[in-house]
Structure 1
Amino acid sequence: MRLHIICFSIVTVSLFTGCGFRSHRDLHRSPRMSYLDRVTQSPDEDFSFRLAKTHDLGDHAVGYTLELHSQTWRNAEEVSHPLWTHNLQIVCPKQATGQTAMLLISGGSRKDQSDGPLDATLLQLAEATGSVCVLLPNVPNQPLAIIDRDDPQGTQRRYEDDLIAQSWVRAIDERDPDWVVQTAMVKSAIAAMDATQAFLNTEEAGSIQIDDFVVTGASKRGWTTWLTAATDDRIRAIMPIVIDTFNMPETLQHHWGAYGHWSPAIADYTSRDLFKAFETRRGNLVRNNVDPYLYRERFTMPKFLLNSAGDQYFLPDSTSLYLDHLPGETRLRYMPNTDHDLDFDGDAQPQGHQSATESLVGFYKAVENDRKLPKLSWTHAIEIDLPEKRARGTSRHAHLSVKCDTRPTRVTLWQAYNPDGRDFRQSTIGNAWVPTPLTPTSDNRAAGMIDMPERGFRAYFIEAIFPVRGQQESVTFTTPVFVVPDELPYKDKPIR
């Protein structure tokens, strides 16, 4: 009786490759010049900024709040607030010598806060990185009413996914890609970079030269991070957080095949039947401007994808649908026992494990200072027995091993088990991720063996913490999340 081993993927961080255990039916190339390109590269006559406040931060830094008008999106007969306004915050450590800045794209709502204090997270990042850090709030500009037949008086104030989804409805109904609000979200990020460079280069700000940016943001702002990187060549690196909207048709089929229904978290889209529209020409008018996968050839810059293993929006193994199609160097980190809110303070992580913020700082400092980042490669294999051997009760296993080019300070195998379904949302299984320490060999390899469940599904990944030569801050990278059995229980159920 022979034991057959099938290797699902062998992947390196510097160039993701694999033996392709899943067929990718949608391999469209990025549009040579999409509407997203045209609108973001066109100047807006209402772009302006002014210094609203200077913040005295003592001997170590100075801060500024700029009142930024990033653009006019639509008109007053179509939306409640066409002029997009932001209180752009900038912190400049006085010891900063680099010409790279971090741009943090944030959410929030439309408020006049020009006289308010600087954001605490912005101050924390500037102090930790010693670099110019910029906060762009209110992306998208919200609340915003879309005036249409459902709301002729413009009284329904929309936020977040509700706003985005309704903008897609108008884009599809009117065959007008300008209604896709992500185009305006990207344009606001570009305007923030324009304003930052122009203001800091003034004598009033000390004639600071900023040449490029490392851009980050979470959720919809992570989405904006990807699309901004696709359209602006000032992006040195990106750190998108808790966003997995790559290869949307495949990702959505994967979602349905795992759950047999849509997660309530994405109800703003499913209640409008928007995902079905991607099968139509009109729906592709939206997808062409929002799916980063269509622009993947442009993502040659360093990338750090920071995701939750228990996200209520996205499946933890969705990266299998696009990871090996990304050019350049890509690092990945999944955080266990978190949901879409992630864990920026480290409260949900065991002692000795990094918070999300610490991971971001470590990656950013390495990129800014041209330091070599550690590389993590992995091999994944599943034992497949003949039917008669399985019938005798012989258990099967999966094997996940990693190889590092730098000696890791800690290696951990994380596993979560759900006996009832292929569902690893934290809202479903709670804090079910269990760590197992792994000891690396002398040549910096480590391996874990995962039991194949008799019923249900098991998810797992390996996490490694590395030092970075030349800096105190460490970095944490992981393999993708794998699931066994590797099957979708509802793949044949018609999507509704």
Structure 2
Amino acid sequence: MTFITDPNVDAVVPFVTDLLDTRTALTHMYRSYGGNWPIAFYPYYQQGVNKTINTPEFQALMKIEDPMQYLVAGQSAQFNKAKYIVNASGDDFYTSDNARFYYDALPGEKSLRVVPNTNYNGILKYVERTLITFVNRFLKNKPLPQLTATLKDDALSVTFSEKPVTVKRWTANNPEARDFRYACDVHYQGTTVTLPSNGPVNLALNSQHTGWQATFVEATFKDGFVATSRVYVTPDDVFPTAAPPVNGNFCKTLPGRGLGETVP
């Protein structure tokens, strides 16, 4: 919120804060876990926050707390500052594809990075190097690299604002649940993608496998800056009807209790 309101802030690098458009993202998370909540949500669950998501009171609160509400309210000029959003592929709190609800809507200079095979706390070991590459570009007034991805009929097409040194495709499979938490022993496998001499990188996303698959594209640039596409889950229109299997103390879910009174 400081980023939006303080004129002295010229750029922002949020780490594992993958909850813009909060009400939509929370509802998606609830559906992704079969009408349940990740165990990491326990403090909020204990307070009953999960039962208020569709209430007028929660909607009123989000008009203050959710940064995307200020964009809708016509204050988009404040969002034009440089933004480097860094998320964990296996976050304990947020589903891996939450960026779908806000990233494309953010105006101005921006770049996204999804770090493979790490969780919410594990992102800490990537902070220093990530900030160095960002600050170097910021001080040199060098634009952030952008990946533009288009998905059509399970075919992903990715273009780059500048030529990367390497490109990788990261893919994770879960045959039992739409759950890609690192704590659940779900690991992404990286494969190097050959860059065409011109034109986009084209990748086929497999929606015919058992369970669900998560995929994103990662590009590394000459100065070490890393940018990625958002995560794409296939099949995207299928949600589980039961909780994911338990796999240890940190790979559990909390039973759903509804989202509260429905609001428009």
- TM-score, normalized by the shorter chain, greater than 0.5: yes
The amino acid across from 1:270 in the alignment is: Y
Q: Tell me: higher relative CO, structure 1 or 2? Use CA pairs within 8 A at least 6 residues apart.
A: 2
Q: 1:307 aligns with which of 87, 106, 111?
A: 87
Q: Displacement, 1:305? A: 0.4
Out of 272, 276, 285, the position equivalent to 2:47 is 272
Alignment size in residue pairs:
240
User: Is the 8 Å Cα contact of residues 438 and 448 (structure 1) preserved in structure 2?
Assistant: no
Quick one: distance in 2 between partners of 1:458 and 1:494? 27
CA contact 2:97–2:231 (8 Å) conserved in 1: yes
- Quick check: 1:454 aligned with 2:204? no
| TM-score calculated relative to the size of structure 2 | 0.83
TM-score (norm 1): 0.46
Report what 2:231 is aligned to. 481
Deviation of 1:335 (Å): 0.7
> How far apart in 1 are the matches of 2:221 and 2:239?
37
* Secondary structure class of the residue paired with 1:342: helix
| Separation in structure 2 between the aligned mates of residue 488 and residue 329 of structure 1, nearest angstrom | 33
Could you list the per-position Cα deviations for residues 191-237 of structure 1 after superposition, in whole angstroms to 9, with x for gaps in the alignment? xxxxxxxxxxxxxxxxxxxxxxxxxxxxxxxxxxxx11121111111
Q: What residue identity is the alignment partner of 2:234? A: V
Q: Give 1:244 deviation, angstroms.
A: 1.5
Contact 2:89 2:118 (C-alpha < 8 Å) held by counterparts: yes
The equivalent position to 1:409 in structure 2, one of 140, 157, 165, is 165
- Indicate yes or no: 2:112 matched with 1:332: yes
CA distance in 1, matches of 2:37, 2:95: 11
Query: Percent of pairs identical after alignment?
Result: 29
Are 2:17 and 1:243 equivalent residues in the alignment?
yes
C-alpha deviation, 1:240, in angstroms: 0.3
Cα distance change of structure 1 residues 357 and 491 upon mapping to structure 2, 3 Å threshold: farther
Deviations 1:265-321 (A, max 9, x none): 111112222233343343344323321221232311111000001001001101111
Tell me if structure 2 keeps the 8 A contact 1:421–1:457.
yes
Match of 1:378 in 2: 149
Within 5 Å, which residues of 2 pair with 1:64-213?
Answer: none
Q: CA deviation at 1:439?
A: 0.9
Q: In the aligned structure 2, how far is the partner of 1:490 from the partner of 1:295? A: 33
Paired letter, 2:155: H
Shift of 1:448: 2.3
Q: CA deviation at 1:404?
A: 1.6
Letter of the 1:480 partner, please give it. Answer: R
- SS of equivalent residue, structure 1 residue 245: coil
| Residue identity in the other structure for 1:425 | R
Q: CA separation in 1, counterparts of 2:155 and 2:86?
A: 24
1:495 aligns with 2:258: yes
Amino acid in structure 2 at the alignment position of 1:424 = F
Hey, what's the Cα distance between the residues in 2 that align with 1:262 and 1:487?
19
SS at match of 1:295: helix
- Check whether the contact 1:256–1:491 (CA below 8 A) recurs between aligned residues: no
Asked if structure 2 preserves the Cα contact closer than 8 Å seen for 1:256 and 1:495, the reply is no
* 1:308–1:334 Cα contact (<8 Å) kept: yes
Q: Counterpart of 2:248?
A: none
Q: Aligned pair in 2 of structure 1 residues 281, 374: CA closer, same or farther (>3 Å)?
A: closer
User: Please, which moves more after superposition, 446-455 or 253-262?
Assistant: 446-455
Decide whether aligned partners of structure 1 residues 356 and 380 sit closer, same or farther in structure 2, where only a CA change above 3 A counts: farther
Larger Cα-atom Rg: 1
With over 3 angstroms needed to count, the CA separation of the structure-2 counterparts of 1:281 and 1:451, relative to structure 1, is closer
Distance 2:123 2:4 in 1: 27
Secondary structure in structure 1 of the residue aligned to 2:14? strand
Which secondary structure state, in structure 1, belongs to the residue aligned with residue 87 of structure 2?
Answer: strand
- SS class of match (1:235): coil
Q: Which residue of 2 aligns with 1:369?
A: 140
Q: CA deviation at 1:359?
A: 2.4
1:466–1:270 Cα change, 3 Å:
same
* Equivalent pair of 2:110/2:146 in contact (CA under 8 Å): no
Structure 1 runs (4+) greater than 6 angstroms displaced = 491-494
- Partner of 1:385 in structure 2? none
Query: Would you say 1:294 and 2:60 are equivalent positions?
Result: no
Q: 1:491 to 1:288 in 2, by over 3 A?
A: farther
Gaps of 5+ in 2: 243-255, 260-264
Q: CA deviation at 1:245?
A: 2.0
For 1:292 and 1:342, the matched residues in 2 are separated by: 25
Distance 2:258 2:89 in 1: 24
Give the structure 2 partner of residue 320 of structure 1: 100
Instruction: Tell me: CA distance 1:488–1:249, structure 2 relative to 1, closer, same or farther (3 Å).
Output: farther
8 Å CA contact 2:19–2:98 kept in 1: the answer is no
Q: What is the RMSD of the two structures over their aligned residues, measured on CA atoms?
A: 2.1
**Aligned AA for 1:459?**
A
- Following superposition, the deviation at residue 360 of structure 1 comes to 2.1
